[in-house]
Amino acid sequence: MSLKNQTINVKCEKIVFPGRSLCRCADGIALFTEGLLPGEAADVLVTKDKKSFREGFVKNITSASSERAEPLCPSFGRCGGCTFQNTGYENQIKYKQIYIEELLAGFGVKIGKILTSPEIWNYRNKMEFSFFNNDGRADLGLHQRGSFNRYVSVPPCFIADKGFLKIAEIIKNFANENNLLAYNNYAHEGFLRHLVLRKAQNNNQTLVNIVTAPGSFDFTTLVKELEEFAQSVYLTQNGRQSDAVVVDDFKLLYGAPLIVEKLNVGSKEYLFNISPFSFFQTNSKGTEVLYNEVLKVLNPSKADTLLDLYCGTGTIGISMAHNVKNVIGIEKVEQAINNAKENALLNGVKNAEFFAASAEEWVKENGAKFDLIIVDPPRTGLTNKVIDFLLASFAKKIVYVSCNPATLARDLSLLSAGGEYKIKAITPVDMFPQTYHVESVVLLEK
């Protein structure tokens, strides 16, 4: 008999990736929900009933865990930004360690102890807020969990850089004082769409990007208010119906065209330009932990040639450049490659070259040999073409940096199946406190 739309009492066995609570129904079928900690029992409304699993949402916790904590944010549970504020950071790390070990247990390698984030609150150096209509007034917020057109107001937000919230308040007040309407994603009417805030946290520089629908408005007064808090203020116009931040036109309203972040890797300081749309890791202090772990396991020599696939704006490759003979970086986004070349100049790195091409296109055309390879692919992981290239590469070491342990497990199975490469070390790195996300650094040796 189907249990859909029925409320049942279940007990949480454990938390599994991606941050879901695994429970077991009376008939033994697994039920997945969100927000329960191991050992907790709850009344759950079943929303999906399949042959092999069920899904539902928690209506009432009937037996709470001693590990449960009061969330710092009043929007926790509704906002899509955080998933783990219901327990302390030590427990978050424990749960992440467990599901990383479960996903990667089949490779016969002891998983290293997870490297923790130096900061667990207000660590995010980039936030993308949406404007929305809140009882006739323009408001700023984050998407409600699982919703396209419902939002949770900010402030507060306890993972965003503290300075972002002051800026958001200033812009929200300006919008309402000037009767500027928030954009409606259904009617495709209104003016204000998004507010994208970026900060070079180690260098205390902030970039503000106001995203609107096509149209004109004099933001001079607002810019003067923001000068105290920001080094750069941009205006971007987006006429597309998609809710994503897409650029039709943008201009610098105030300040420098870029902000500059500094990272300490291998006891050496590196500088990186951040433009309105360039990629940069969202946790500056955590990035230093991540890159130092990459350098540690790579252990390069001055005789090595390094390939940096999916190099983005060149941050990893440039951070390794002083320790190798030369670096080749590949990234499909041309603007990112331009940023990478600028970043190399900024750091006096003369032994790095960067090329705009997809990894798949480049490996198909290139037969060069490399001593070391770093891959840092998107969440979807590596394609078969790239895996075939890696297996035939003769590189003595491959370091795989992953933000998705599920696709990492799939790719490591393919890379290690034939015996060409052996997995030597796996180290999780927590870049995203209060959420289920976790990075991993994996060393494979020929």
- Domain locations in the chain as residue ranges: 7-68, 97-118+283-445, 126-260
Angle at 295 between CA 292 and CA 296, to 5 degrees: 85
pLDDT tens per residue, range 80-126: 899 999 999 999 999 999 999 999 988 989 999 999 999 999 999 99
In whole angstroms, what is the distance from residue 5 CA to residue 2 CA? 9
Nearest partner of 85 among 34, 41, 139, judged by Cα: 34
Indicate the residue type of 274: I
SS3 157: coil
Nearest partner of 81 among 16, 130, 116, judged by Cα: 130
List of residues 6+ apart from 376 with CB closer than 8 A = 308, 309, 310, 311, 312, 316, 401, 402
List of residues 6+ apart from 194 with CB closer than 8 A = 128, 129, 130, 131, 210, 211, 238, 245
Contact indicator for 31, 13 with CB cutoff of 8 Å: no
In whole angstroms, what is the distance from residue 54 CA to residue 21 CA? 12
In whole angstroms, what is the distance from residue 324 CA to residue 207 CA? 33
DSSP 68: B
pLDDT value of residue 148: 75
Helix (H) / strand (E) containing 442: strand 439-445
Task: Please say whether the structural domain 126-260 has been given the CATH code 2.40.50.1070.
Answer: yes
DSSP 105: G
Superfamily the domain 7-68 falls into: Nucleic acid-binding proteins (2.40.50.140)
Task: Kindly report whether the peptide bond that precedes residue 38 is cis, defined as omega within 30 degrees of 0.
Answer: no
Beta bridge partners of 17: none
List of residues 6+ apart from 7 with CB closer than 8 A = 43, 44, 45, 46, 59
341 exposure class (CB count in 10 Å sphere: 0-12, 13-18, 19+): middle
pLDDT value of residue 94: 97
| Dihedrals phi, psi of 95, to nearest 5 degrees | -65, -40
Mean pLDDT of the chain: 95
Catalytic-residue membership of 403: yes
In whole angstroms, what is the distance from residue 429 CA to residue 433 CA? 11
- The tokens of 258 are what? 């870029």
In whole angstroms, what is the distance from residue 78 CA to residue 143 CA? 9
pLDDT in tens, the chain (446 residues): 789 999 999 999 999 999 999 999 999 999 999 999 999 999 999 999 999 999 999 999 999 999 999 999 999 999 989 999 999 999 999 999 999 999 998 898 999 999 999 999 999 999 999 999 999 899 999 999 888 788 999 999 999 999 999 999 999 999 999 999 999 888 888 999 999 999 999 999 999 999 999 999 999 999 999 999 999 999 999 888 777 777 778 899 999 999 999 999 999 999 999 999 888 999 999 999 999 999 999 999 999 999 999 999 999 999 999 999 999 999 999 989 999 999 999 999 999 999 999 999 999 988 789 999 999 999 999 999 999 999 999 999 999 999 999 999 999 999 999 999 999 999 999 999 999 999 999 999 99
pLDDT value of residue 158: 97
What's the predicted TM-score (pTM) here?
A: 0.94
Contact indicator for 38, 14 with CB cutoff of 8 Å: yes
Say yes or no: do domains 7-68 and 126-260 share a fold.
yes
pLDDT value of residue 244: 74
Nearest partner of 61 among 36, 85, 32, judged by Cα: 36
68-77, long-range: CB within 8 Å, 24+ apart, which pairs?
Answer: 68/37, 68/40, 72/121, 72/158, 73/156, 73/157, 73/158, 74/156, 75/152, 75/153, 75/156, 77/35, 77/145
* Options 12, 25, 82, 403, the catalytic residue: 403
Helix (H) / strand (E) containing 89: helix 89-103
In whole angstroms, what is the distance from residue 297 CA to residue 52 CA? 40
266 exposure class (CB count in 10 Å sphere: 0-12, 13-18, 19+): middle
What would the CATH number be for the domain defined by 97-118+283-445?
3.40.50.150
296 exposure class (CB count in 10 Å sphere: 0-12, 13-18, 19+): middle
- The tokens of 156 are what? 């507060």
pLDDT value of residue 403: 95
Nearest partner of 273 among 291, 281, 261, judged by Cα: 261
Contact indicator for 88, 67 with CB cutoff of 8 Å: yes
> Dihedral through CA 397, CA 403, CA 404, CA 410, nearest 10?
-10
In whole angstroms, what is the distance from residue 131 CA to residue 190 CA? 10
For 248, 249, 279, 358, the CA distances from 237, given in Å and listed in that order, are 6, 5, 20, 28
Give the strand pairing for 151-153 and 137-143: antiparallel
CA atoms within 13 A on the CB side of 355: 14
pLDDT tens per residue, range 152-190: 999 999 999 999 999 999 999 999 999 999 998 888 889
